Structure 1
Amino acid sequence: MLDTSNLSSLQVEVARKLMPIIHAGRWSVGEKISDAALAREFGISRTPVRQVMQFFAEKGIIAQTENRGFTLIRRPAPEENIDELVPPSEVDSLYKRIMHARANGQIGSEASESELLEHFNTSRGVIRRTLARLSAEGLAERRDGHGWRFAECLDNRQAVNESYAFRTIIECGAVTEDTFRADLEELAALEEAQRALLNAPLPSIEGSAWFEANAQFHETVVSWSHNRFLVQAIRRQNSLRRMTEYAEFAELSEAGVRKAARDHLAILDAIKADDRKLASAILFRHLSRSWAGSESHAEKRGD
């Protein structure tokens, strides 16, 4: 495990933002990583970004070049868990707590900073940085005055069905795009992760970890379309799902997890065989779920 004791809260946040981006394959091995571009993307100065890049250089993931630039030298292995490499910051922890609170109705669709301070018993600085993150993800917006309004939850049948219909259009369409090209390293990493889920004992899988693995699978497949607007759309849907489904993924069904992993592996097999029509059909079946019948809502998680 890396020693993170000398990292500031901001640097931990940057590190936890950077790891998923590397995992998702934004840069090929040997490709230059621009600290200036990341600083603009994260809305901060270059200094904490450079410090985090140097931090990952110690782990052998990034290398610093002679001209003080950075290049990617390897992607983190699937077993290099983000929480082990970089423990959650206060903002990461509060982000998840707000997700759970919204999903469970513990806080309403609108709240002031003072109300959030009282409810979560943390500092105003952490509250503001967390709200800024939620705002950047389209999950919260500032009201006139000092209040905040949270995005609508997918907490009713119509909203959920509309979300699934939208995702079906986006994801199946992405697979059939002329520009679709799978990254073989990313595909192998997804296969390894899905096989691990297929064989892991259910008690060892945390709901939030399964949600993130599931969301990463769908986002990575869409990213192979090389269409920025499709990627933005699926990221937005994943963000909306986080607001509602974090709590639901805590009640995992073993049958649901196994079925989802098998579906994901079948989609990847079809992509590897360059049968994108079949991949799209399996993905359509995977997403086109009936919300009626005897199967419980929790068993449907894993989509």
Structure 2
Amino acid sequence: MNQDRSIATQIVELIQAEGMPVGAHLPAQMLADKLRVSRSPVNEALALLHEKGVLTRERNRGFFLAREVAAPAGELATQLGLTEPDLAGAAYFQIAEDLLQGKLENEVSEQLLKARYGLTATQLNTVLKRIAQEGWAERKPGYGWEFSSMLTTPDSLLQSYRLRLALEPAALLEPGYRIERKTIERLRAAENHLLSGGIETDTADQLHDRGVRFHESLVEASGNPFFIDTIRRVNRVRRLLSYRSMRHRERYPEHAKQHLHLLDLLARDRNEEASAAMREHLEHTLSALAKISQILEP
């Protein structure tokens, strides 16, 4: 898939996920940070969305949302001609599944991956760059790649939640905690989208990223860089096993309602209650994951 089109599709998904209003500014650096890519392809994708009429461009100011993104992101991307067979995306998920099933060695060559998954050098580079950014593989000195064994067992995902259980409720009690109203409204819109049908229609990527954005946004409002860095790191490396847990989506409506309750408490500056609610929320998730841990087995 053409990289500009792929990133343009992701930008459309982000616009809808965050409920951005018409006129919202889309800074390239902000998008690059959220999508974990460089600014160059983001700028090209923004230019493509400008051509398609989704964005307007203002001299010396950048890009702004030109119209409401009401249709499902995938449907709109198809209407705009942004979708093509995503071979790199399919290979990414297949590599993850093969690794979890023990079908891949921990150390592999790029040639083996290219041949096994039918990828071009460019497509393979895209896949490996994404995997490396998420923290579950790294390039070996001189030759090949090595996958991390950290998140290839059911206990790994549960351990990551226990770390979050220690960190996230505490972040809400930090002195000077401040979450902006527009952040609360953006997160509230994303949860309402899920309850309005997004749980069934969103991809595993979209579901994972919505959850990540919710929890990182709440921790970021603490202003504590140690908390913020830790939550970002654990969210990057837990992605691999999170995808499998999304086969069981019946737990998501309750999660979305719990998220909305947390936002209501924070909007009223009731942080102690929010901290207790966050602990209860993460304990609920941990319990649910423990019950379906068999799907995380190789």
TM-score range, shorter chain: 0.7 to 0.9
TM-score for both structures, normalised by structure 2? 0.76
Please report how far the alpha carbon of residue 131 of structure 1 lies from its aligned counterpart in structure 2 after TM superposition: 0.8
**8 Å contact kept, 1:263–1:286:** yes
The structure whose RCO (Cα within 8 Å, separation 6+) is larger is 2
In structure 2, how many angstroms separate the alpha carbons of the residues matched to 1:148 and 1:63?
42
Match of 2:120 among 114, 118, 123: 123
In structure 2, what is the equivalent of residue 81 of structure 1?
73
TM-score for both structures, normalised by structure 1? 0.75
For 1:15, the aligned partner's letter is A
**8 Å contact kept, 2:31–2:42:** no
Going from structure 1 to structure 2, the CA distance change for 1:75 and 1:276 (only over 3 Å counts) comes to: farther
The structure with more helix, counted as a fraction of residues: 2
Alignment of 1:216-227 (within 5 A): 216-227=213-224
Going from structure 1 to structure 2, the CA distance change for 1:278 and 1:75 (only over 3 Å counts) comes to: farther
The percentage of counterpart residues that share the same residue type is 23
**8 Å contact kept, 1:102–1:244:** no
**Residues 1:258 and 2:253 are matched in the alignment:** yes
**8 Å contact kept, 2:9–2:73:** no
Tell me which moved more, 176-185 or 263-272. Answer: 176-185
Tell me which moved more, 135-144 or 71-80. Answer: 71-80
**Residues 1:65 and 2:65 are matched in the alignment:** no
Alignment of 1:18-167 (within 5 A): 18=11, 33=27, 42-43=37-38, 46=40, 48-58=41-51, 62-67=55-60, 69-73=61-65, 77=69, 80-81=72-73, 84-85=76-77, 86-87=82-83, 89-156=86-153, 158-167=155-164
Match of 1:273 among 229, 246, 268: 268
**8 Å contact kept, 2:199–2:207:** no
Going from structure 1 to structure 2, the CA distance change for 1:125 and 1:231 (only over 3 Å counts) comes to: same
1:250 partner SS: coil
In structure 2, what is the equivalent of residue 282 of structure 1?
277
Unaligned runs of 5+ in 2: none
In structure 2, how many angstroms separate the alpha carbons of the residues matched to 1:294 and 1:99?
19
- Cα deviation code 1:80-106 (max 9, x no counterpart): 526743537443333333233333333
For 2:141, the aligned partner's letter is D
- Cα deviation code 1:189-208 (max 9, x no counterpart): 32233234335396545544
Going from structure 1 to structure 2, the CA distance change for 1:295 and 1:25 (only over 3 Å counts) comes to: closer
2:105 partner SS: coil
- Cα deviation code 1:82-136 (max 9, x no counterpart): 6743537443333333233333333233221122123212212211221122223
In structure 1, how many angstroms separate the alpha carbons of the residues matched to 2:198 and 2:32?
38
Tell me which moved more, 112-121 or 181-190. Answer: 181-190
**Residues 1:15 and 2:11 are matched in the alignment:** no
In structure 1, how many angstroms separate the alpha carbons of the residues matched to 2:225 and 2:37?
18
**8 Å contact kept, 1:24–1:186:** no
For 1:87, the aligned partner's letter is T
**8 Å contact kept, 2:26–2:65:** no
1:152 partner SS: coil
Please report how far the alpha carbon of residue 267 of structure 1 lies from its aligned counterpart in structure 2 after TM superposition: 0.9
Please report how far the alpha carbon of residue 9 of structure 1 lies from its aligned counterpart in structure 2 after TM superposition: 1.8
**8 Å contact kept, 1:181–1:224:** yes
**8 Å contact kept, 2:220–2:228:** yes
Please report how far the alpha carbon of residue 234 of structure 1 lies from its aligned counterpart in structure 2 after TM superposition: 2.3
For 1:138, the aligned partner's letter is G
- Cα deviation code 1:53-81 (max 9, x no counterpart): 222334666432234x4044579757552
Unaligned runs of 5+ in 1: 1-7
For 2:46, the aligned partner's letter is M
Going from structure 1 to structure 2, the CA distance change for 1:57 and 1:230 (only over 3 Å counts) comes to: farther
2:138 partner SS: strand
In structure 2, how many angstroms separate the alpha carbons of the residues matched to 1:149 and 1:53?
34
